Amino acid sequence: MNCGKLRSVTETLVNQQRRAQRMENAADELAWQAQLESYLDNYAMARKLCRQAGEARNESNSALGHCAKAFAEAGDVTQAEALAAKLDRLRPEDTLNQKIHLPLIRSGIERKRGNAAKAVDLLAPARQYEQGESQVLYHRAQAYLATKEPAKAATEFQKLLDHRGWDDWALYAPLAQLSLARSYATQADRENSRKAYDDFFITWKDADPDIPILRQATAEYKKLAATGSAAAIGGKQ
């Protein structure tokens, strides 16, 4: 993932929308970028973009949802709760908000608070709408991973990876590959973990090297390889 190029594209789009006085569109672009940055562990950038989105337009449905998810992912649960409450108040009859976006936000908040089981339960309303929704499977899998149920998490991540036509698949698939690798590693399944890491690195072969989750993934892979080598050496003795 070329974050520098993507940020440049977003900045260009935002400037175009501002010049055209389409402030809601500008807020949406900023908030979407903020959510992406939060998934990459670029939390400071995510917070900055959400502040800018709020200055552009505070009541955009899309911007509120994206930034609530970004703040939740960054661990800023108070901010996430405030935006979720506003979204709930402004769009009480919106099915997508009530059944998908708000459960996702609230689940993310509880996961960051350490309430992983509650994070899983909060996604129950989204289950009937999950077909085509990569983000629902991704967040449920992350919740399972947090509950220390890596086998369930791996099943959800793989289900996401198997549905290329679903919404936002291209965004969530690499994240799912990395999380799948972590799920297998937690189960001490080094072979499948290594394969999932390899798939992730192939997908992101042209990514910016300074992306936080890429640096973390590289460190995890080296540790996995070292552990595997030590096991192999021990087996020969």
CA 150 to chain centre: 17
Structure tokens at 93: 């009859």
Geometric angle at alpha carbon 230, from 224 and 232, rounded to 5°: 105
Q: Would you place residue 142 in the very low, low, confident or very high pLDDT band (cuts 50, 70, 90)?
A: very high
Q: Is the pLDDT of residue 202 over 90?
A: yes
Q: At what angle do helices 134-146 and 169-186 cross, to 10 degrees?
A: 20
d(CA 62, CA 230): 49
The Cα–Cα gap between 235 and 119 comes to 41
Cα Rg of the chain, angstroms: 19
Q: What is the pLDDT of residue 18?
A: 72
Distance CA 174, CA 207 (A): 11
Residue 35 CA to residue 234 CA, distance in Å, equals: 44
Q: Among 147, 177, 150, which residue's Cα sits nearest to residue 162?
A: 177
Mind giving me the DSSP string for 181-211?
Answer: HHHHHHTT-HHHHHHHHHHHHHHTTTS-TT-
- pTM score, whole prediction: 0.89
The tokens 């990876």 sit on which residue? 161
By CB neighbour count within 10 A (0-12 exposed, 13-18 middle, 19+ buried), where does 21 fall? exposed
With a cut of 80, say whether residue 42 has pLDDT above it. Answer: yes
- pLDDT tens per residue across span 92-116: 989 989 999 999 999 999 999 999 9
Distances (CA, A) of 68 to 39, 171, 173, 189, 234: 13, 18, 21, 35, 49
**How wide is the angle at C-alpha 98 spanned by C-alphas 38 and 82, nearest 5°?**
50
The pLDDT assigned to 2 comes to: 60
Query: Which residues contact residue 65 at a Cβ distance below 8 angstroms, ignoring those fewer than 6 apart?
Result: 31, 87, 97, 101, 105
Is the pLDDT confidence value at 19 over 80?
A: no
Q: Write down the pLDDT at residue 229.
A: 42
